[in-house]
Amino acid sequence: MPADYRSLYENFDENPEPVVCNVQGEIPSWLNGTLLRNAPAMFTVGESTYEHLFDGLALMQRYYIEDGKLYYSTRYLRSDCYKANMAAQRIVAGSFGTSSFPDPCKNIFQRFFSHFETGPQIRHDNDVVNFVQLGDELYATTETPEMNRINIKTLETEERVSLGDHMPVAVHTATAHQHYDKERNVYNIGSRFGKNGQYVMIKTTNPLNTENKNGDFEKTELIAEIPFSQNLYPSYYHSFGMSEKYFIFLETPLMINTLKLASPFIQKMFQITFNDCLEWHPKSGVNIHVVDKSTGKKFERSYKSAAFFTFHHANAYEYEGCIIVDFCLIADGNAVQKLTIKEMRRGFLTEETELMRPYLTRLILPLEVPEDAKPGDNLLEKHAFAGKCTAVLEADGSIRISHERLADIAVEFPRINYEMVNTEKYKYVYASTVQFRHTDNAGIIKVDVDNKTFIQWNRDHEEQTCSEPVFVPTPGGTEEDDGVLLCPVLNVRSEEHPFLVILDAKTLKQIARCEVPYRIPFSFHAHYMPQ
Protein backbone atom coordinates (compact mmCIF):
# COMPACT_ATOMS: atom_id res chain seq x y z
CA MET A 1 0.00 0.00 0.00
CA PRO A 2 1.50 3.41 -0.97
CA ALA A 3 2.55 5.76 1.82
CA ASP A 4 0.12 8.48 2.89
CA TYR A 5 2.02 11.78 2.89
CA ARG A 6 -0.89 14.02 3.80
CA SER A 7 0.28 14.51 7.38
CA LEU A 8 3.40 16.35 6.12
CA TYR A 9 1.22 18.98 4.46
CA GLU A 10 -1.42 19.65 7.10
CA ASN A 11 -1.26 22.51 9.59
CA PHE A 12 1.38 22.21 12.31
CA ASP A 13 1.09 23.60 15.83
CA GLU A 14 3.90 25.78 17.08
CA ASN A 15 5.75 24.70 20.23
CA PRO A 16 7.85 27.65 21.40
CA GLU A 17 8.91 26.03 24.69
CA PRO A 18 11.96 23.78 24.14
CA VAL A 19 11.36 20.09 24.80
CA VAL A 20 14.12 17.58 25.57
CA CYS A 21 14.36 14.84 22.95
CA ASN A 22 15.14 11.19 23.60
CA VAL A 23 18.67 10.41 22.39
CA GLN A 24 19.68 6.99 21.14
CA GLY A 25 23.45 6.73 20.89
CA GLU A 26 25.72 9.55 22.02
CA ILE A 27 25.96 13.09 20.68
CA PRO A 28 29.65 14.12 20.27
CA SER A 29 30.79 16.20 23.23
CA TRP A 30 32.13 18.94 20.94
CA LEU A 31 28.79 19.38 19.14
CA ASN A 32 27.20 22.37 20.86
CA GLY A 33 25.13 24.81 18.83
CA THR A 34 21.86 25.57 17.08
CA LEU A 35 20.48 24.13 13.87
CA LEU A 36 17.70 26.34 12.52
CA ARG A 37 15.37 25.05 9.83
CA ASN A 38 12.64 26.76 7.81
CA ALA A 39 9.50 25.08 6.45
CA PRO A 40 6.02 25.70 5.06
CA ALA A 41 3.75 24.43 7.83
CA MET A 42 0.38 26.21 7.70
CA PHE A 43 -1.49 25.31 4.55
CA THR A 44 -5.05 26.18 5.51
CA VAL A 45 -6.29 29.49 6.93
CA GLY A 46 -9.99 29.49 7.73
CA GLU A 47 -11.65 27.86 4.76
CA SER A 48 -8.93 28.86 2.27
CA THR A 49 -5.99 26.64 1.34
CA TYR A 50 -2.57 27.25 -0.14
CA GLU A 51 -2.03 25.42 -3.40
CA HIS A 52 1.75 25.17 -3.86
CA LEU A 53 4.56 23.77 -1.70
CA PHE A 54 6.34 27.15 -1.71
CA ASP A 55 3.30 28.92 -0.22
CA GLY A 56 2.60 27.54 3.26
CA LEU A 57 3.28 29.96 6.12
CA ALA A 58 6.79 29.68 7.52
CA LEU A 59 7.44 27.66 10.67
CA MET A 60 10.95 27.95 12.09
CA GLN A 61 12.40 25.00 13.98
CA ARG A 62 15.26 25.16 16.47
CA TYR A 63 17.38 22.11 17.27
CA TYR A 64 19.55 23.22 20.16
CA ILE A 65 22.37 20.89 21.16
CA GLU A 66 24.19 21.29 24.48
CA ASP A 67 26.12 18.83 26.66
CA GLY A 68 24.88 15.75 24.85
CA LYS A 69 21.21 16.79 24.84
CA LEU A 70 18.90 18.01 22.09
CA TYR A 71 16.15 20.56 22.69
CA TYR A 72 13.47 21.15 20.03
CA SER A 73 11.15 24.14 19.64
CA THR A 74 9.16 25.80 16.86
CA ARG A 75 7.52 29.15 16.20
CA TYR A 76 5.67 30.64 13.24
CA LEU A 77 7.34 33.58 11.56
CA ARG A 78 5.25 36.69 12.35
CA SER A 79 5.56 38.05 8.83
CA ASP A 80 3.20 40.67 7.42
CA CYS A 81 1.66 37.83 5.39
CA TYR A 82 1.06 35.77 8.53
CA LYS A 83 -0.46 38.67 10.46
CA ALA A 84 -2.75 39.70 7.60
CA ASN A 85 -3.99 36.14 7.10
CA MET A 86 -4.58 35.59 10.81
CA ALA A 87 -6.49 38.85 11.14
CA ALA A 88 -8.77 38.00 8.20
CA GLN A 89 -8.89 34.25 8.94
CA ARG A 90 -8.42 33.55 5.24
CA ILE A 91 -5.61 33.86 2.72
CA VAL A 92 -5.42 37.56 1.83
CA ALA A 93 -1.70 37.49 0.97
CA GLY A 94 -1.17 35.71 -2.33
CA SER A 95 1.98 33.69 -2.88
CA PHE A 96 4.00 31.71 -5.43
CA GLY A 97 1.16 29.39 -6.48
CA THR A 98 -1.85 30.75 -4.59
CA SER A 99 -3.86 33.87 -5.29
CA SER A 100 -5.57 35.74 -2.46
CA PHE A 101 -9.09 34.56 -1.76
CA PRO A 102 -11.98 37.04 -2.14
CA ASP A 103 -13.75 38.38 0.93
CA PRO A 104 -16.66 35.97 1.57
CA CYS A 105 -18.71 38.84 3.05
CA LYS A 106 -18.85 40.64 -0.31
CA ASN A 107 -21.31 39.78 -3.05
CA ILE A 108 -20.17 39.11 -6.62
CA PHE A 109 -20.44 42.78 -7.66
CA GLN A 110 -18.51 44.01 -4.62
CA ARG A 111 -15.80 41.43 -5.31
CA PHE A 112 -15.52 42.57 -8.93
CA PHE A 113 -15.12 46.25 -8.06
CA SER A 114 -12.68 45.45 -5.24
CA HIS A 115 -10.17 44.54 -7.96
CA PHE A 116 -9.97 48.24 -8.86
CA GLU A 117 -9.31 49.36 -5.29
CA THR A 118 -5.96 50.89 -4.42
CA GLY A 119 -4.27 51.02 -1.08
CA PRO A 120 -1.35 49.56 0.88
CA GLN A 121 -0.16 46.23 -0.47
CA ILE A 122 0.92 43.32 1.71
CA ARG A 123 4.64 42.75 1.30
CA HIS A 124 5.54 39.21 0.23
CA ASP A 125 7.61 38.42 3.31
CA ASN A 126 6.54 34.83 4.06
CA ASP A 127 10.22 33.91 4.43
CA VAL A 128 9.79 30.16 4.20
CA VAL A 129 12.92 29.03 2.36
CA ASN A 130 16.20 29.74 4.12
CA PHE A 131 18.24 31.97 6.45
CA VAL A 132 21.04 34.43 5.82
CA GLN A 133 23.55 35.44 8.48
CA LEU A 134 24.85 39.01 8.36
CA GLY A 135 27.33 39.71 11.10
CA ASP A 136 25.83 38.27 14.26
CA GLU A 137 22.24 38.64 13.05
CA LEU A 138 20.09 36.04 11.33
CA TYR A 139 17.31 36.71 8.82
CA ALA A 140 14.66 34.40 7.41
CA THR A 141 14.54 34.65 3.62
CA THR A 142 12.50 33.69 0.58
CA GLU A 143 12.61 34.61 -3.12
CA THR A 144 11.67 38.26 -2.62
CA PRO A 145 13.77 41.15 -1.23
CA GLU A 146 11.73 41.04 2.01
CA MET A 147 13.45 39.44 5.03
CA ASN A 148 12.67 39.12 8.72
CA ARG A 149 15.26 39.28 11.47
CA ILE A 150 14.71 36.62 14.09
CA ASN A 151 15.87 35.96 17.63
CA ILE A 152 18.07 32.88 17.40
CA LYS A 153 17.24 31.69 20.93
CA THR A 154 13.47 32.31 21.07
CA LEU A 155 12.60 32.27 17.34
CA GLU A 156 10.65 35.48 17.83
CA THR A 157 10.29 37.75 14.79
CA GLU A 158 12.05 41.04 15.54
CA GLU A 159 12.01 43.22 12.42
CA ARG A 160 11.11 43.10 8.73
CA VAL A 161 13.92 44.33 6.48
CA SER A 162 13.68 45.03 2.75
CA LEU A 163 16.83 44.51 0.72
CA GLY A 164 15.35 46.90 -1.84
CA ASP A 165 15.57 49.78 0.65
CA HIS A 166 19.36 49.51 0.53
CA MET A 167 19.74 49.02 -3.22
CA PRO A 168 20.75 51.77 -5.68
CA VAL A 169 18.37 50.19 -8.23
CA ALA A 170 14.98 48.52 -7.95
CA VAL A 171 14.91 44.77 -7.40
CA HIS A 172 11.76 42.63 -7.50
CA THR A 173 13.12 39.16 -6.70
CA ALA A 174 16.16 37.84 -4.87
CA THR A 175 17.37 34.31 -4.26
CA ALA A 176 17.16 32.71 -0.84
CA HIS A 177 20.54 31.07 -1.55
CA GLN A 178 23.05 33.74 -0.72
CA HIS A 179 26.78 33.03 -0.82
CA TYR A 180 29.56 34.09 1.57
CA ASP A 181 33.23 34.78 0.96
CA LYS A 182 36.02 34.18 3.48
CA GLU A 183 35.26 37.50 5.22
CA ARG A 184 31.57 36.52 5.48
CA ASN A 185 30.46 39.21 3.05
CA VAL A 186 27.15 38.22 1.46
CA TYR A 187 26.53 37.89 -2.29
CA ASN A 188 23.20 37.51 -4.05
CA ILE A 189 21.35 37.76 -7.36
CA GLY A 190 17.96 39.33 -8.02
CA SER A 191 15.79 40.39 -10.95
CA ARG A 192 14.40 43.75 -11.95
CA PHE A 193 11.38 43.48 -14.23
CA GLY A 194 10.28 46.15 -16.66
CA LYS A 195 11.02 47.59 -20.08
CA ASN A 196 14.74 46.94 -19.82
CA GLY A 197 14.74 44.09 -17.34
CA GLN A 198 18.00 42.90 -15.86
CA TYR A 199 19.52 40.35 -13.51
CA VAL A 200 21.14 42.22 -10.64
CA MET A 201 24.23 40.99 -8.78
CA ILE A 202 24.97 42.48 -5.38
CA LYS A 203 27.30 42.33 -2.39
CA THR A 204 26.59 43.19 1.24
CA THR A 205 29.65 43.85 3.38
CA ASN A 206 29.85 42.00 6.68
CA PRO A 207 29.14 44.75 9.24
CA LEU A 208 31.56 43.16 11.70
CA ASN A 209 34.31 44.26 9.31
CA THR A 210 33.13 47.90 9.34
CA GLU A 211 32.40 50.61 11.87
CA ASN A 212 28.72 49.70 11.63
CA LYS A 213 28.19 46.68 13.89
CA ASN A 214 24.38 46.64 13.72
CA GLY A 215 24.12 43.74 11.31
CA ASP A 216 21.90 45.53 8.81
CA PHE A 217 22.10 45.74 5.00
CA GLU A 218 23.22 49.38 4.65
CA LYS A 219 26.53 48.34 3.08
CA THR A 220 24.87 46.75 0.03
CA GLU A 221 26.38 47.60 -3.34
CA LEU A 222 25.56 46.84 -6.95
CA ILE A 223 28.21 44.71 -8.68
CA ALA A 224 26.64 44.07 -12.07
CA GLU A 225 23.49 44.24 -14.17
CA ILE A 226 22.93 41.66 -16.92
CA PRO A 227 20.10 42.18 -19.45
CA PHE A 228 17.56 39.38 -19.77
CA SER A 229 18.25 37.30 -22.87
CA GLN A 230 14.55 37.68 -23.70
CA ASN A 231 13.19 40.89 -22.24
CA LEU A 232 9.58 39.78 -21.71
CA TYR A 233 10.59 36.27 -20.66
CA PRO A 234 13.26 36.35 -17.95
CA SER A 235 14.43 33.12 -16.38
CA TYR A 236 13.10 31.80 -13.08
CA TYR A 237 15.97 30.69 -10.84
CA HIS A 238 16.39 29.53 -7.27
CA SER A 239 20.16 29.80 -6.74
CA PHE A 240 23.43 30.63 -8.48
CA GLY A 241 27.05 29.55 -8.54
CA MET A 242 30.01 31.49 -7.17
CA SER A 243 33.72 30.79 -7.48
CA GLU A 244 36.46 32.85 -5.86
CA LYS A 245 36.48 35.40 -8.69
CA TYR A 246 33.18 34.94 -10.54
CA PHE A 247 29.42 34.80 -10.40
CA ILE A 248 28.09 31.91 -12.50
CA PHE A 249 24.45 32.32 -13.45
CA LEU A 250 22.59 29.57 -15.31
CA GLU A 251 19.81 31.30 -17.23
CA THR A 252 17.59 28.29 -17.85
CA PRO A 253 14.53 28.25 -20.15
CA LEU A 254 11.99 28.04 -17.32
CA MET A 255 10.74 31.54 -18.08
CA ILE A 256 8.43 34.07 -16.47
CA ASN A 257 5.78 35.46 -18.81
CA THR A 258 5.90 39.05 -17.57
CA LEU A 259 2.95 40.03 -19.77
CA LYS A 260 0.79 37.95 -17.44
CA LEU A 261 2.68 39.07 -14.37
CA ALA A 262 2.60 42.80 -15.10
CA SER A 263 -1.08 43.53 -14.49
CA PRO A 264 -2.36 43.19 -10.90
CA PHE A 265 -5.89 43.60 -12.26
CA ILE A 266 -5.52 40.64 -14.63
CA GLN A 267 -3.93 38.59 -11.85
CA LYS A 268 -6.86 39.23 -9.52
CA MET A 269 -9.63 38.92 -12.07
CA PHE A 270 -8.36 35.62 -13.43
CA GLN A 271 -6.70 34.41 -10.22
CA ILE A 272 -3.34 34.17 -12.00
CA THR A 273 -0.37 33.36 -9.75
CA PHE A 274 3.38 33.62 -10.23
CA ASN A 275 3.40 29.86 -10.85
CA ASP A 276 0.85 30.33 -13.64
CA CYS A 277 3.26 32.73 -15.34
CA LEU A 278 6.04 30.13 -15.61
CA GLU A 279 6.57 28.61 -19.05
CA TRP A 280 9.05 25.92 -20.10
CA HIS A 281 10.75 26.85 -23.41
CA PRO A 282 13.30 24.05 -23.96
CA LYS A 283 14.19 25.19 -27.50
CA SER A 284 15.77 28.31 -25.99
CA GLY A 285 18.41 26.24 -24.20
CA VAL A 286 20.51 27.56 -21.31
CA ASN A 287 22.57 30.77 -21.41
CA ILE A 288 25.45 30.67 -18.94
CA HIS A 289 26.65 34.05 -17.70
CA VAL A 290 30.05 34.57 -16.05
CA VAL A 291 30.63 37.88 -14.25
CA ASP A 292 33.82 39.11 -12.61
CA LYS A 293 32.99 39.87 -8.97
CA SER A 294 35.66 42.57 -8.63
CA THR A 295 34.87 44.57 -11.79
CA GLY A 296 31.25 43.65 -12.52
CA LYS A 297 32.16 42.89 -16.13
CA LYS A 298 30.45 40.02 -17.91
CA PHE A 299 32.43 37.71 -20.15
CA GLU A 300 31.72 38.80 -23.73
CA ARG A 301 32.08 35.24 -25.01
CA SER A 302 28.83 33.37 -24.45
CA TYR A 303 28.36 29.85 -23.13
CA LYS A 304 25.32 27.83 -24.15
CA SER A 305 23.85 24.45 -23.29
CA ALA A 306 20.89 22.26 -24.17
CA ALA A 307 17.86 22.87 -21.93
CA PHE A 308 17.75 21.91 -18.27
CA PHE A 309 16.56 23.41 -14.99
CA THR A 310 18.20 23.53 -11.58
CA PHE A 311 17.12 24.45 -8.08
CA HIS A 312 20.42 24.05 -6.24
CA HIS A 313 24.14 24.49 -6.76
CA ALA A 314 26.71 22.44 -4.83
CA ASN A 315 29.97 24.30 -5.51
CA ALA A 316 31.99 26.16 -8.14
CA TYR A 317 35.72 26.79 -8.38
CA GLU A 318 38.46 27.82 -10.80
CA TYR A 319 40.91 25.17 -11.94
CA GLU A 320 43.53 25.09 -14.71
CA GLY A 321 41.99 27.92 -16.70
CA CYS A 322 38.41 26.71 -16.28
CA ILE A 323 35.45 27.11 -13.96
CA ILE A 324 34.02 23.87 -12.56
CA VAL A 325 30.28 24.13 -11.74
CA ASP A 326 28.46 21.37 -9.82
CA PHE A 327 24.68 21.47 -9.41
CA CYS A 328 21.54 19.32 -9.38
CA LEU A 329 20.16 19.07 -12.92
CA ILE A 330 16.51 18.45 -13.76
CA ALA A 331 15.86 17.71 -17.43
CA ASP A 332 12.26 18.95 -17.44
CA GLY A 333 11.59 22.41 -15.99
CA ASN A 334 7.87 21.65 -15.64
CA ALA A 335 8.84 20.00 -12.34
CA VAL A 336 8.43 23.34 -10.54
CA GLN A 337 4.75 23.65 -11.41
CA LYS A 338 4.14 20.05 -10.34
CA LEU A 339 5.09 20.81 -6.72
CA THR A 340 1.53 21.56 -5.67
CA ILE A 341 0.14 20.63 -2.28
CA LYS A 342 -2.26 18.22 -3.95
CA GLU A 343 0.61 16.42 -5.71
CA MET A 344 2.83 16.39 -2.62
CA ARG A 345 0.07 14.91 -0.45
CA ARG A 346 -0.37 12.00 -2.81
CA GLY A 347 3.37 11.32 -2.95
CA PHE A 348 4.24 12.75 -6.37
CA LEU A 349 7.98 12.62 -5.62
CA THR A 350 7.85 8.84 -5.23
CA GLU A 351 6.60 8.37 -8.77
CA GLU A 352 8.13 11.26 -10.72
CA THR A 353 9.31 10.59 -14.26
CA GLU A 354 13.00 10.26 -15.06
CA LEU A 355 12.98 13.71 -16.68
CA MET A 356 11.92 15.29 -13.38
CA ARG A 357 14.48 13.50 -11.18
CA PRO A 358 17.40 15.73 -10.10
CA TYR A 359 20.95 14.43 -10.54
CA LEU A 360 24.22 15.88 -9.30
CA THR A 361 25.89 17.14 -12.45
CA ARG A 362 29.06 18.94 -13.56
CA LEU A 363 29.74 21.41 -16.35
CA ILE A 364 33.06 23.05 -17.14
CA LEU A 365 33.58 26.52 -18.61
CA PRO A 366 36.95 27.29 -20.27
CA LEU A 367 37.97 30.86 -19.49
CA GLU A 368 40.13 31.31 -22.58
CA VAL A 369 40.08 30.13 -26.20
CA PRO A 370 43.44 29.33 -27.86
CA GLU A 371 44.26 31.48 -30.88
CA ASP A 372 44.52 28.44 -33.13
CA ALA A 373 41.15 26.96 -32.02
CA LYS A 374 38.72 26.22 -34.84
CA PRO A 375 34.91 25.81 -34.82
CA GLY A 376 34.11 22.26 -33.76
CA ASP A 377 37.11 21.95 -31.43
CA ASN A 378 36.47 20.61 -27.93
CA LEU A 379 38.33 23.11 -25.74
CA LEU A 380 38.43 20.60 -22.86
CA GLU A 381 39.96 17.77 -24.88
CA LYS A 382 43.42 18.11 -23.35
CA HIS A 383 42.13 18.45 -19.77
CA ALA A 384 42.16 15.03 -18.13
CA PHE A 385 39.96 16.28 -15.28
CA ALA A 386 37.12 17.14 -17.69
CA GLY A 387 35.80 13.58 -17.88
CA LYS A 388 32.84 13.49 -20.26
CA CYS A 389 32.26 17.25 -20.12
CA THR A 390 32.83 19.11 -23.37
CA ALA A 391 33.10 22.75 -24.46
CA VAL A 392 32.84 23.00 -28.23
CA LEU A 393 33.72 26.21 -30.06
CA GLU A 394 30.91 27.30 -32.39
CA ALA A 395 31.26 29.24 -35.66
CA ASP A 396 29.78 32.38 -34.08
CA GLY A 397 32.41 32.34 -31.31
CA SER A 398 30.12 30.99 -28.59
CA ILE A 399 30.97 27.82 -26.66
CA ARG A 400 28.55 24.89 -26.58
CA ILE A 401 28.71 23.17 -23.18
CA SER A 402 27.76 19.58 -22.38
CA HIS A 403 27.68 18.20 -18.85
CA GLU A 404 28.40 14.97 -16.99
CA ARG A 405 26.44 13.22 -14.24
CA LEU A 406 28.48 12.77 -11.05
CA ALA A 407 26.30 10.14 -9.38
CA ASP A 408 23.67 7.86 -10.84
CA ILE A 409 21.15 8.41 -8.07
CA ALA A 410 18.47 11.12 -7.76
CA VAL A 411 19.29 13.61 -5.00
CA GLU A 412 18.48 17.15 -3.91
CA PHE A 413 19.60 19.74 -1.36
CA PRO A 414 23.38 19.37 -1.94
CA ARG A 415 25.63 20.58 0.89
CA ILE A 416 29.41 20.74 1.33
CA ASN A 417 31.93 21.60 4.02
CA TYR A 418 31.23 25.23 3.19
CA GLU A 419 33.72 26.86 5.55
CA MET A 420 36.62 24.80 4.20
CA VAL A 421 35.98 24.18 0.50
CA ASN A 422 33.42 26.65 -0.85
CA THR A 423 34.86 28.17 -4.09
CA GLU A 424 37.80 25.72 -3.75
CA LYS A 425 38.69 22.43 -5.42
CA TYR A 426 36.88 19.87 -3.30
CA LYS A 427 35.82 16.23 -3.15
CA TYR A 428 32.56 15.60 -1.30
CA VAL A 429 28.90 16.54 -1.69
CA TYR A 430 26.22 15.48 0.80
CA ALA A 431 22.62 15.31 -0.36
CA SER A 432 19.20 13.84 0.35
CA THR A 433 17.07 11.47 -1.69
CA VAL A 434 14.02 13.26 -0.18
CA GLN A 435 11.10 10.97 -1.16
CA PHE A 436 12.57 9.65 -4.40
CA ARG A 437 11.92 5.95 -4.55
CA HIS A 438 14.92 3.63 -4.30
CA THR A 439 14.79 -0.13 -3.80
CA ASP A 440 17.19 0.00 -0.85
CA ASN A 441 15.52 3.01 0.86
CA ALA A 442 18.59 5.20 0.31
CA GLY A 443 18.26 8.37 2.40
CA ILE A 444 21.46 10.42 2.73
CA ILE A 445 24.12 10.29 0.03
CA LYS A 446 27.81 11.22 0.08
CA VAL A 447 29.21 11.72 -3.42
CA ASP A 448 32.93 11.63 -4.24
CA VAL A 449 32.97 14.07 -7.16
CA ASP A 450 36.50 13.04 -8.20
CA ASN A 451 35.79 9.34 -8.54
CA LYS A 452 32.05 9.73 -9.30
CA THR A 453 31.15 7.19 -6.64
CA PHE A 454 28.88 7.44 -3.62
CA ILE A 455 28.03 5.83 -0.31
CA GLN A 456 24.68 6.03 1.44
CA TRP A 457 22.79 5.90 4.72
CA ASN A 458 19.48 4.10 4.38
CA ARG A 459 16.13 5.05 5.84
CA ASP A 460 14.39 2.47 8.00
CA HIS A 461 11.59 2.24 5.43
CA GLU A 462 10.18 4.09 2.43
CA GLU A 463 7.63 6.04 4.50
CA GLN A 464 10.43 8.17 5.94
CA THR A 465 11.60 11.38 4.26
CA CYS A 466 15.08 12.85 4.68
CA SER A 467 15.46 16.62 4.74
CA GLU A 468 18.61 18.50 3.72
CA PRO A 469 21.75 17.20 5.51
CA VAL A 470 23.85 19.94 7.12
CA PHE A 471 27.60 19.49 7.54
CA VAL A 472 29.12 20.58 10.85
CA PRO A 473 32.95 20.43 10.96
CA THR A 474 34.86 18.88 13.83
CA PRO A 475 36.79 21.61 15.70
CA GLY A 476 40.38 21.49 14.50
CA GLY A 477 39.54 19.03 11.72
CA THR A 478 41.99 18.95 8.83
CA GLU A 479 40.22 16.67 6.35
CA GLU A 480 37.32 17.85 4.21
CA ASP A 481 35.00 15.25 5.72
CA ASP A 482 36.04 15.67 9.36
CA GLY A 483 32.65 16.35 10.88
CA VAL A 484 29.06 15.20 11.22
CA LEU A 485 25.84 15.54 9.28
CA LEU A 486 22.63 16.73 10.95
CA CYS A 487 19.45 15.68 9.16
CA PRO A 488 15.78 15.53 10.23
CA VAL A 489 14.05 12.33 9.18
CA LEU A 490 10.28 12.71 8.87
CA ASN A 491 7.83 9.89 9.35
CA VAL A 492 4.26 9.52 8.11
CA ARG A 493 3.63 6.53 10.35
CA SER A 494 1.73 7.95 13.32
CA GLU A 495 3.09 5.30 15.70
CA GLU A 496 6.73 6.29 15.03
CA HIS A 497 8.46 9.50 16.10
CA PRO A 498 10.43 11.61 13.61
CA PHE A 499 14.04 12.20 14.58
CA LEU A 500 17.22 14.16 13.95
CA VAL A 501 19.91 11.75 12.81
CA ILE A 502 23.59 12.52 13.42
CA LEU A 503 25.92 10.77 10.98
CA ASP A 504 29.69 10.50 10.76
CA ALA A 505 30.48 12.49 7.63
CA LYS A 506 33.32 10.13 6.66
CA THR A 507 31.41 6.87 6.76
CA LEU A 508 27.73 7.89 7.03
CA LYS A 509 27.50 5.61 10.04
CA GLN A 510 24.84 6.66 12.53
CA ILE A 511 26.26 8.24 15.68
CA ALA A 512 22.96 9.16 17.31
CA ARG A 513 19.30 9.70 16.58
CA CYS A 514 17.25 12.15 18.63
CA GLU A 515 13.52 11.44 18.69
CA VAL A 516 11.26 14.50 18.46
CA PRO A 517 7.87 14.12 20.21
CA TYR A 518 6.09 16.33 17.65
CA ARG A 519 5.38 16.11 13.94
CA ILE A 520 8.18 17.69 11.90
CA PRO A 521 7.27 19.56 8.68
CA PHE A 522 9.04 19.02 5.37
CA SER A 523 11.63 21.79 5.46
CA PHE A 524 13.71 23.27 2.68
CA HIS A 525 16.96 24.61 4.14
CA ALA A 526 18.85 25.16 7.38
CA HIS A 527 21.56 27.23 9.00
CA TYR A 528 23.88 26.01 11.77
CA MET A 529 25.42 28.35 14.33
CA PRO A 530 27.98 26.97 16.82
CA GLN A 531 27.57 27.93 20.45
pLDDT value of position 109:
36
Alpha-carbon distance of 350 to 519, in angstroms, equals 21
pLDDT value of position 103:
52
Query: 3-class SS at 9?
Result: helix
Burial zone of 531 (CB within 10 Å; 0-12 exposed, 13-18 middle, 19+ buried): exposed
pLDDT value of position 99:
81
Burial 61-100 (b: 16+ CB within 10 A, else e): bbbbbeeeebbbbbbbbbbbbbebbbebebbbbbbbbbbb
The string of DSSP codes covering 411-427 is -EEEE--HHHHTTS---
pLDDT value of position 126:
95
Given a contact cutoff of 8 angstroms between Cβ atoms, the answer to whether 499 and 490 are in contact is: no
pTM of the predicted structure, to 2 decimals = 0.93
Binding site for Fe cation: residue ranges?
A: 177, 238, 312, 525
pLDDT value of position 347:
81
Alpha-carbon distance of 134 to 57, in angstroms, equals 23
Binding site: residue ranges?
A: 177, 238, 312, 525
Give CA angle at 321 (317, 326), nearest 5°: 30
pLDDT value of position 122:
65
Alpha-carbon distance of 151 to 215, in angstroms, equals 13
Q: 275-303: per-residue pLDDT in tens? A: 889 999 999 999 999 999 999 999 988 99
Q: What is the longest distance spanned by two Cα atoms in the chain? A: 74
pLDDT value of position 107:
41
CB count in 10 Å sphere of residue 530: 12
Given a contact cutoff of 8 angstroms between Cβ atoms, the answer to whether 526 and 468 are in contact is: yes
Burial 291-326 (b: 16+ CB within 10 A, else e): bebeebebbeebbbbebbbbbbbbbbbbeeebbbbb
Query: What residues in the chain have per-residue pLDDT under 50?
Result: 1, 106-120
pLDDT value of position 353:
76
pLDDT value of position 93:
82
Given a contact cutoff of 8 angstroms between Cβ atoms, the answer to whether 34 and 378 are in contact is: no
Question: Taking the domains of the chain in order of start, what are their residue ranges?
Answer: 6-117+124-530
Phi, psi of 470 (to 5 degrees): -115, 125
